[in-house]
Chains A and B, each alone.
Chain A
Amino acid sequence: MGEIRTLDISPVGRVEGDLDIRVTVEDGVVTDAWTSAELFRGFEVILRGKDPQAGLIVTPRVCGICGASHLSCGAWALDTAWKTEVPRNAILARNLGQITESLQSIPRHHYGLFGIDFTNEKYSKSPFYAEACDRWAPYTGRHYEAGISISGKAVEIYAIFGGQWPHSSYMVPGGVMCAPTLTDITRAKAILEYYRTNWLEPILLGCSIERYEEIQSMQDFLAWLDENPAHANSDLGLYWRMGQDIGLDKFGGGLNRFMSWGYLPHEDRYQHPTVEGRNGAVIMKSGVYDFEADTHVLMHEEHVRENTVHAWYDEGSADVHPYDRETRPTDKNARDFDNKYSWSSSVNHAELGRLETGPLARQLVAGGKHGEDWQYFNPVVLDMMKAMGGSNVLLRHFARLHEATALFRQAEHCLEAFHLDEPWYIKPHETDGQGWGATEAVRGALAHWVDIKNGKIQNYQIVAPTTWNIGPRDGEGNRGPIETALIGAPINNLKDPVEVGHVARSFDSCMVCTVHVQDGKSGKELARFRIN
């Protein structure tokens, strides 16, 4: 029996939103964890009885970071409910919005939220520490400012098509509101080129996109790292080398079961959007990957279940499909870890249980042999995962940085494929019905379900990536993805448990984390700010 120590940090920053994590630590290792979302805003309640298109205004404001993703879901959900026709220009314009928001988020998350931890004093003995501080120290680091600035450039493209970022509502059922001109396209290309020549190639990769794209396996990646000092000294190179040096490959694994909705409908394959037709129409394929069994299967919306046994809702104990959710918050929301302790429901797959979502999940799905030949395939991260024997913090964040080149290529494709003299919008016929829209926000799988009756919203339900990842225990007591990933994390300094931050931030959850550590044996929560 090991020594049990208790600490309480409240809150941890640099994870968007409000969240508490309680962990128990034995012998400097996390042995159990509970995640509780601490903010209820009630968007689902607000949307009841409103105009069917109200979701287009309200849901981008659920999250100012993933507004384009919410807008995409809201628009596609109405498209399937109203059985619209969406012109190919509009599909491309929506995809471009989603992509540029993700291209914004990758550097903003890396420099603004994740990389800062590498400058923590705890790592001062690492041979890479001085370099990390020089580059990634907040505000003053050489690449911190460059990274924050370039993130703002990416969404300048979004503003050309949507008017502004964040919080535009330019995607509507039947297409988009904009009708850009050649000058707009040219300007967008110039900005994309700026992104490549000012950050992606010189700072992130230290090589051309073409060279990076040659990497097809772990072995290729390691060879690339050794090939040239520019590669090893790039931000990606430094991240990998320092990450290994400080042991980020040693913890933060988690469930090892993953899901992605897939995203970016192909402009010629989804003009008549349906729920059933979506898996066969998206460029980035959907799927569930089980690492233990090494299997890939497609993901379908009817598999989704939510459970609120441990969440502050008064909705019974059964697993229900989002269409059957009622969103009835309880007044009493004290944290009771045997009962209810979060505003997040726990989400699961009806057959495959709890699943992790995010860039790592997307990349593992992208490496699967399932799906269709024309869909995007990239085996790198799946190969790395097998070589490393499972997931970890290092790989989870690597997958995010790895996506930048593929997204850049997709953005290039959109800008080249527009036919400016063709329509951008086909006015739909407004009807009652049910609709579903999904995408991949940069931090994972996002879907909206809408039920329209008598020309009003009867029910609107959102399952966000963070709901998948941050959810509390489910009806059977199984831990959620982050709760699982925290177990086994070494806590080196109880006063500054940066490792908990690494795990939480590697999921890029839309949450502000508050961490409580609890006495694992007695269950008694000890005094704050104290080690005993």
Chain B
Amino acid sequence: MANLLWLQGGACSGNTMSFLNAEEPSVCDLVTDFGLNILWHPSLGMELGDELQALLDGLTSGRESLDILVFEGTVINAPHGTGEWNRFAGRPMKDWMQELADVARYVVAIGDCACWGGIPAMDPNPTDSEGLQYLKRQHGGTLGTDFTSKAGLPVINIPGCPAHPDWVTQILVAVATGRAAEIDLDDLQRPSTFFTSFTQTGCTRNMHFTYKVSATEFGQRKGCLFYDLGCRGPMTHSPCNRILWNRQSSKTRAGMPCIGCTEPEFPFFELEPGTVFKSQTVMGVPRDLPDGLNKPGYIQLTTAAKEAAPAWAEQDIFVI
């Protein structure tokens, strides 16, 4: 039996909604089969009012153990570092979060907002938002660089806007079955199982990437979205095309460019005019190249690809 508490800061509830789409195991399976005891969740909790206050006090005072603290949404510091713009149970949410993180065995940040600040932390960051242990790529956040939870791990970051339900359930399963020690974290504290390969890995448009056949407009079945439509699939670490969304598809499979939502810089270029769904180029070469590729290498590769491309690559090979 592992006690879990799920709180939301500056959140849209998207990670909760995504989590509820989980199957095999479902949220109900986590509770009934894995013995996960959800002490409270803003969308699912039974307790209200003074019962919840008593529960929170019990946890912060150590009377009851908190195995997993899940936090969704940004930590809001405005105005002037007080956090009063996001109150919960009569206090700034940031104060609750810090006190609970100190007593929790594991702290899990779910979604971009909790990991790095996400959209609310975008310029001009009106709510003075940050993530639990990062602001964008800068280590620190609300809990500080040295923070480790009772079990000795830093905040486990499961980014994504939203995070995929399987990424969340498998981490909770590992903790609930005593295998948390096996979770390997990368240098941004993300589980490396999920965030080592690229969004492009497994994309159905890879063939078109290879031959530099571009989808120049939306609504096309063929063509890679990287060259013109600003797709970040080759630079983004996520398993979106290996572990499909809603068991069905992925954004790039459906025709939407990857917007890099598992990386700390999301939303990229602060959504400045001209940056949305348009590849950013300098002298015809993409500003951001596929991970690890240099500019001369890119030019050689694409020139050769263009010349070598078979005729079918430009044709619509996908049957209706």
- The answer on a CB contact under 8 Å between B15 and A64 is yes
Residues of B within 8 A of A113 (CB): 43
Whether, in the assembled complex, B253 has its beta carbon less than 8 Å from a beta carbon of chain A, the answer is: yes
Whether, in the assembled complex, B20 has its beta carbon less than 8 Å from a beta carbon of chain A, the answer is: yes
Residues of A within 8 A of B219 (CB): 90, 175-179, 423-425
- The answer on a CB contact under 8 Å between B49 and A12 is yes
A421 to B8, CA, bound (A): 45
Whether, in the assembled complex, A399 has its beta carbon less than 8 Å from a beta carbon of chain B, the answer is: no
Chain A positions 481 through 517: 1 when the CB is less than 8 Å from some CB of chain B, otherwise 0: 0000000000000011100010000000010101100
A427 to B216, CA, bound (A): 10
Which of chain A's residues 219-256 have a Cβ closer than 8 Å to chain B? none
- The answer on a CB contact under 8 Å between A163 and B249 is yes
Whether, in the assembled complex, A18 has its beta carbon less than 8 Å from a beta carbon of chain B, the answer is: yes
- The answer on a CB contact under 8 Å between A148 and B320 is no
Whether, in the assembled complex, A85 has its beta carbon less than 8 Å from a beta carbon of chain B, the answer is: no
- The answer on a CB contact under 8 Å between B218 and A46 is no
A226 to chain B, nearest CB (A): 34
Interface size class of B (residues with CB under 8 A): 35 or more
Interface size class of A (residues with CB under 8 A): 35 or more
- The answer on a CB contact under 8 Å between A163 and B255 is yes
Closest to A119 in B: B46
Which of chain A's residues 1-36 have a Cβ closer than 8 Å to chain B? 7-14, 16-18, 20
Which segment, of B59-67, B85-93, B283-291, faces chain A? B85-93
A155 to B17, CA, bound (A): 11
A333 to B40, CA, bound (A): 27
Closest to B165 in A: A152
Whether, in the assembled complex, A65 has its beta carbon less than 8 Å from a beta carbon of chain B, the answer is: yes
Residues of B within 8 A of A415 (CB): none
Whether, in the assembled complex, B185 has its beta carbon less than 8 Å from a beta carbon of chain A, the answer is: no
B86 to chain A, nearest CB (A): 5
- The answer on a CB contact under 8 Å between A148 and B26 is yes
A374 to B120, CA, bound (A): 43
- The answer on a CB contact under 8 Å between A170 and B249 is no
A262 to chain B, nearest CB (A): 25
Closest to A17 in B: B13
- The answer on a CB contact under 8 Å between A57 and B13 is no
Residues of A within 8 A of B249 (CB): 159-160, 163-164
The 3 A-B residue pairs whose C-beta atoms are closest, nearest first, are A64-B14, A9-B49, A425-B219
Q: Give 16 A-B pairs besides A144-B28, A177-B257 with Cβ atoms closer than 8 angstroms.
A: A7-B49, A13-B40, A13-B43, A13-B46, A40-B86, A49-B273, A57-B259, A58-B271, A64-B12, A65-B14, A139-B27, A160-B249, A167-B14, A420-B320, A514-B89, A528-B53
Interface set of A (CB-CB < 8 Å, partner B): 7-14, 16-18, 20, 38-43, 45-46, 49-54, 56-58, 61-65, 67, 90, 108, 112-113, 116, 138-140, 144-145, 148-149, 151-152, 155-156, 158-170, 172, 174-179, 181-182, 187, 329, 331, 333, 343, 420-421, 423-425, 427, 455-456, 495-497, 501, 510, 512, 514-515, 528-529
